[in-house]
Amino acid sequence: MSDAHKYNFVCEHVEETSQMTKEFLLTVYSKGHGIPNELSLYDTKSKRLFLKRGVYDQDGAFRLEDLFIGAEVTVCARKMKIVSFADKPTEAFFQKSAGQVYTVICGNAMAQLGDYFLAAYETGFTIKRVKTLADAGEMAVHLELVGQGADVWQEVTAQVADSAIQTETSGPASEKVFARKDSSAIFEGCSLCIIRPHAVREGKTGLVINAIMEAGLQISAMQSFVLLKSQAENFYEVYKTVLPSAQYSAMITELASGTCIAMEVRGEDVVPRLRELCGPFDIEIARHLRPSTIRALHGRDNVHNVVHCTDLPEVWKASQNGLMFSLLCGLWQWFLQKEESRRERRMVLLGVDNAGKTTTLEQLKALFGLKAMAPERIPPTIGFNIGRIQIDKVIAVFWDLGGHASFRSVWHNYYPEVQGVMFVVDSADPGRLEEAKRTLLEVIDHEQLKGVPLLCLANKQDKPDAMSVQELSRFFEFERLFSDRSFHVHPCCALQGQGLEAAVRWLLAEADKFERKL
């Protein structure tokens, strides 16, 4: 196996449930054109091999051109974000084709939009991100590519059309554009077309765009996404009872395998027209009955059929209202949820001193867009701190109470009308676990906290000697001692803010249920 070229990358993987970030060394072994690339993963924290060398497709060939700083690749259903090159030879090899180019297509150039995407693929550029904005009433396509650099891309675009387009090396300006929350989407009288990840990788984006525009339909918005598997499951949920289970699972895996591009498409009778243009879902039927459709011409099988569009009659109305596009954009609640006044939920943030309570509060503030104290400047809590944090439509009020033994006797003054208890444990300090357990039992036994949901944060999980969630659960005897309420033990690293968002969202959801019972 020594005949392969070896390339090393530092990657990060965020656990979907705990939101903890783990670092891996990704090694890719390339034997040349036509031979599948192999890879392996090494866990840098535990210093052990995580995935042995082998061929692991991300629903398609694992390609060298998809590997660049900031790229997200899928390995065995795990999203890996490449954060740096791990050695000089890898950096030297990939820097030749790792120039990141930011380009804006607008005005007269929009007529050749699909041709620009085709030219990018044909000259070795990879789509990193795409997004449309509407400034001064004119839609513009903001496109970020990875390839041979801005000079080469300018030469390529000059051959596509006479219309000049803005091109520069990616930098702070492009970051600001892609960080913007707005888009050119109209969310009315529209349908959704998604170019699937396999089609984006195979350079078919331009073909789909050209087909839509040549059919007399208008693309009013487009944006690239890299979906988690749970997000893909959410999106495809309506198809769960319609398709065979194996095909349904494969579709979810494919949609979460890399970058997809969602387009808001408009025009008269847009839903049936787009459906006709895409063709039957089944590739064989498409080739026999609708041979000129997108799926018949460019699809491989029923999972890799190039595009998703509104196939089911029961979601036509949602598509026409813009719901399907907005769902993928993360704005679907704007359509589904009734306007309701913001609710307030009161939480006590408890634990023995030095467990990390105040650090937890400050990091929660930062996570939800509030000004927060830097971790290194946080002093021990003398008395209490208050944090009011808006999380979606809820105002979460946190009472961070000093954990020193002399202050615990007044904690009960803050229990009235509390809907949640957040108890922080230093999982890397076994010498104080017995004290923490006694303290928690005293808290939970209080009459005013009867049945109140409990979130136990297993803090400092970044330390090598930290106890696991399972070990802490056994030590605290949660199943036996806290069966009268909802409880959850969640791993976190408050210093880095890891795991906190998922944890607090669980507590807020349980606080809502508790409030409704009263």
Residue 409 vs residues 359, 401, 412, 454: alpha-carbon distances, Å: 22, 11, 7, 20
Instruction: For residue range 322-335, list pLDDT tens digits in order.
Output: 444 555 554 333 33
User: 302: Cβ–Cβ under 8 A, 6 or more apart, which residues?
Assistant: 247, 281, 282, 283
Spatial separation of the C-alpha atoms in residues 504 and 512, rounded to whole Å: 12
Look at residues 152, 172, 155 and name the one whose alpha carbon lies nearest to residue 164. 155
Annotated binding-site ranges: 351-358, 381, 403, 459-462
What ranges make up the beta strands (E) of 352-478? 384-391, 394-401, 420-426, 454-459
Give the mean pLDDT of 392-417: 85
Spatial separation of the C-alpha atoms in residues 199 and 451, rounded to whole Å: 51
User: 438: Cβ–Cβ under 8 A, 6 or more apart, which residues?
Assistant: none
Q: What is the pLDDT of residue 207?
A: 98
Whether 177 and 291 map to the same domain: the answer is: yes
Q: What is the DSSP letter of 103?
A: E
Annotated binding-site ranges for Mg(2+): 358, 381
Query: What stretch of H or E contains 282?
Result: none
Spatial separation of the C-alpha atoms in residues 112 and 205, rounded to whole Å: 13
Compute CA 430 distance to the chain's CA centroid, rounded to the nearest angstrom: 35
CA geometry: angle at 350 spanning 344 and 356, to 5°? 110
Instruction: Give bridge partners of residue 27 from the DSSP assignment.
Output: 8, 40
Number of structural domains the chain divides into:
3
Compute CA 124 distance to the chain's CA centroid, rounded to the nearest angstrom: 27
Phi, psi of 479 (to 5 degrees): -60, -40
Give the mean pLDDT of 474-493: 92
Are residues 173 and 150 in contact, defined by beta-carbon separation less than 8 angstroms? Answer: no
User: 118: Cβ–Cβ under 8 A, 6 or more apart, which residues?
Assistant: 203, 205, 206, 207, 210
What is the pLDDT confidence band of residue 394, given thresholds at 50, 70 and 90? Answer: confident
Q: What is the mean pLDDT of the chain?
A: 85
Domain boundary, last residue among 319, 336, 353 = 336
Whether 452 and 475 map to the same domain: the answer is: yes
Are residues 28 and 87 in contact, defined by beta-carbon separation less than 8 angstroms? Answer: no
Instruction: For residue range 259-284, list pLDDT tens digits in order.
Output: 999 999 999 988 889 999 999 888 88
Look at residues 391, 386, 387 and name the one whose alpha carbon lies nearest to residue 343. 391
Instruction: For residue range 35-82, list pLDDT tens digits in order.
Output: 788 899 999 988 999 999 988 766 666 778 788 888 888 888 788 899
Whether 81 and 222 map to the same domain: the answer is: no
CATH number of the CATH domain containing 33? 2.30.29.170
Domain boundary, last residue among 76, 95, 114 = 95
Whether 429 and 292 map to the same domain: the answer is: no
SS3 content of the chain, % helix, strand, coil (to 5): 35, 30, 35
DSSP secondary structure string for all residues of 180-207: -S--S---SSEEEEEE-HHHHHTT-HHH
Whether 151 and 288 map to the same domain: the answer is: yes
**Residue whose entry in the numeric block shows the structure tokens 């866990």:** 43
CATH number of the CATH domain containing 278? 3.30.70.141
Annotated binding-site ranges for GTP: 351-358, 403, 459-462
Q: Given the DSSP bridges, would you call strands 72-75 and 138-147 parallel, antiparallel or unpaired? A: unpaired
Higher pLDDT, 313 or 175: 175
For residue 194, what are the domain limits? Answer: 99-336
CATH number of the CATH domain containing 493? 3.40.50.300
155: how many CB neighbours lie within 10 A of its CB? Answer: 11
Spatial separation of the C-alpha atoms in residues 486 and 469, rounded to whole Å: 17
- How is residue 110 written in tokens? 């929009």
Whether 27 and 113 map to the same domain: the answer is: no
Q: What is the DSSP letter of 356?
A: S
